[in-house]
Structure 1
Amino acid sequence: MDWFVLKKIVSNYLQPLSIAVESLASGLILLGLSTWGAKSGKRSRLRRWLRHTGLAFLIMATMFLYLCSTASVAEALAYSLERQYPPMKEDSEDFRALDPEFIVVLAGGWRVGENAPVTSRVLPPTETRVIEGVRLAALFPKARLAFTGIPREVESMADLAKLMGVAPDRILLESRSRDTDDHPKFLKPILGESSFLLVTSGMQLPRAVSLFRGAGLDPVPMPTDLWSYPDFLARSPYQWDRLVPKASYLEMTDVALHEILGRLYSNLRGDAADEVRRPAVVEL
């Protein structure tokens, strides 16, 4: 089996909703097994253990799903990622000193085929990233826009950018990357030593930056699609409305945990780096 496919299958089973469903199913199975042979009137330690363990699974799964669906948990996880690379103010000295040759925009998923309107072909995170890339392209007219992802994603991203007025000769497509791990690998031959801005969702940026640095590239982080930063600390986590479960908060938790687990996976593989990883120079 393709390692990429296996990785995607495993990640699907590690999503909050999947974990909750798996735990609920396990609890129900254990409770069912605890009733096996109960009609005989015999009580055993095994049946008691199965019953208690099954109930524990049901309670923990319910509490886990509830907590993952609340603003207090979801926004805390999102903020922990987004605060690592806050947006750069346009009037700051660091921003004015930038002179990028490329603006790299990571794809974030597609929705329907090419016969649909261009605004319906990509998922909201991808659309937001493209809009931010186009905004930066207007501020840095010498920079080229580089979209990276699978073919249908980058083609739709390019169409969306052209719809917003970007000249076709300023757009570059890298269409071999299937996920975040692939982007630096396939972009490195294109970017070389060029300076570039890295545009992606704020929660994905820490993992993306570490992978690019691990590949020896030096991106300037440009976050977009922010969910929690900077307002999280200004709100009390104990307000009643922040304890009401919502599907949108479950989605936020899902994205945050995906990035946290993805970063852990990259660290274990040795692909990530906090500083730019340069090739060793051997003096003769």
Structure 2
Amino acid sequence: MFFALSKIGWYLVQPLVGILLLFAAGLVCLLLKLPKTGFGLLAVAFLVLAVVSLSPLGLMMLAPLENRFPKPALPERVAGIVVLGGSFDTRVARTRGEPELNDAADRITTALALALRFPEAKVIFSGGAAAMFEEDVTESSVAERLFGELGLPADRLVLEDRSRNTVENARFSKEIAAPKPGETWLLVTSAAHMPRAVGCFRVAGFDVLPYPTDYQTPGGNLIYQPSTATVRNLEKVHFAIREYLGLLAYWLTGKTDALFPAPASSDAGANR
């Protein structure tokens, strides 16, 4: 039920859909001879569209999420690497018969780089089929092919293909990893998604060392300079709102340990 509600709810509240609904409501009011209300709604819709597509709002919203967990110094030994799904376009992969990465491709490239650095570490890829209204392939099946083509030995890759969201990523990955005391397991996911992911892994009882990747914001004062590609600015607002709503929903339903999970003292120590 939570999975279905989260999918449907997000579709209705994402920024561009909200703007279109405001435009539609304004036009309906004009047809109903309510010019003041109609023009007011159209003006609000136009203003919101201008702000999200022309300003650095998205960068400023994403930066706190991406900066929450700094990239840690790595230990000498790592037992395993858990990389979360979300980096494949499964519709393209299913219909064209070949792996296709999306904007979160850094999750894969970072996992491969870490696998090369720690040749004895297992790599758990966690990602099932998250489509609601159509049959789809699992991300794990696509990842298996791509990791193999890129040279990762098959005996090092473990596929978790049941999860549909982050809380299931954490629960099922722990079942597979069966982590032992003293072991270090790295968690690889997008920097903006790391706070929610860490909160889920903590609730699942899986102690991981967060290793963020897939940054979408620059450092320093450059976050105040929006992209010249307006769709990129709107996209960042889209991703930021999704993460903030996800953090709230997961916290209210007990799926994370805090509203905005922060690094533990052990994580902070890894940065020294």
Does the CA contact (< 8 Å) of 1:66 and 1:245 recur in 2?
Answer: no
CA RMSD of aligned residues (A): 2.3
Q: TM-score, structure 2 length as denominator? A: 0.83
Counterpart for residue 42 of structure 1: none
Change (3 A) 1:14 1:168: same
* Rounded Cα–Cα distance in structure 2 between residues aligned with 1:62 and 1:245: 18
Q: Please, which of 164, 173, 177 is the counterpart of residue 150 of structure 2?
A: 164
Q: How many residues align?
A: 248
Does the CA contact (< 8 Å) of 2:83 and 2:126 recur in 1?
Answer: yes
Counterpart for residue 7 of structure 1: 6
* Rounded Cα–Cα distance in structure 1 between residues aligned with 2:239 and 2:170: 21
Q: Please, which of 109, 134, 142 is the counterpart of residue 112 of structure 2?
A: 134
Counterpart for residue 110 of structure 1: 89
Counterpart for residue 205 of structure 1: 194
What is the CA deviation profile of residues 33-85 of structure 1, one whole-angstrom value per residue up to 9, with x for unaligned ones? 2x1xxxxxxxxxxxxxx433322221111111221113511111121210111
Task: Tell me by how many angstroms 1:27 deviates.
Answer: 1.5
* Rounded Cα–Cα distance in structure 1 between residues aligned with 2:47 and 2:229: 11
Which amino acid in the other structure matches residue 145 of structure 1?
V
* Rounded Cα–Cα distance in structure 2 between residues aligned with 1:165 and 1:15: 38
Q: TM-score, structure 1 length as denominator? A: 0.80
Counterpart for residue 269 of structure 2: none
Counterpart for residue 240 of structure 2: 256
Report the 3-state secondary structure (helix = DSSP H, G, I; strand = E; otherwise coil) of the residue aligned with 1:203. helix
Report the 3-state secondary structure (helix = DSSP H, G, I; strand = E; otherwise coil) of the residue aligned with 2:187. strand
Aligned positions of 1:61-140 closer than 5 A: 61-88=45-72, 94-95=73-74, 97-108=75-86, 109-111=88-90, 112-114=92-94, 116=96, 118-120=98-100, 122-125=101-104, 127-140=105-118
Change (3 A) 1:98 1:115: farther
Which amino acid in the other structure matches residue 201 of structure 2?
F
- Structure 1 gaps of 5+ residues are 36-49, 89-93, 277-284
Report the 3-state secondary structure (helix = DSSP H, G, I; strand = E; otherwise coil) of the residue aligned with 1:113. helix
Does the CA contact (< 8 Å) of 2:62 and 2:236 recur in 1?
Answer: yes
Change (3 A) 1:167 1:115: farther
Task: Tell me by how many angstroms 1:21 deviates.
Answer: 0.5
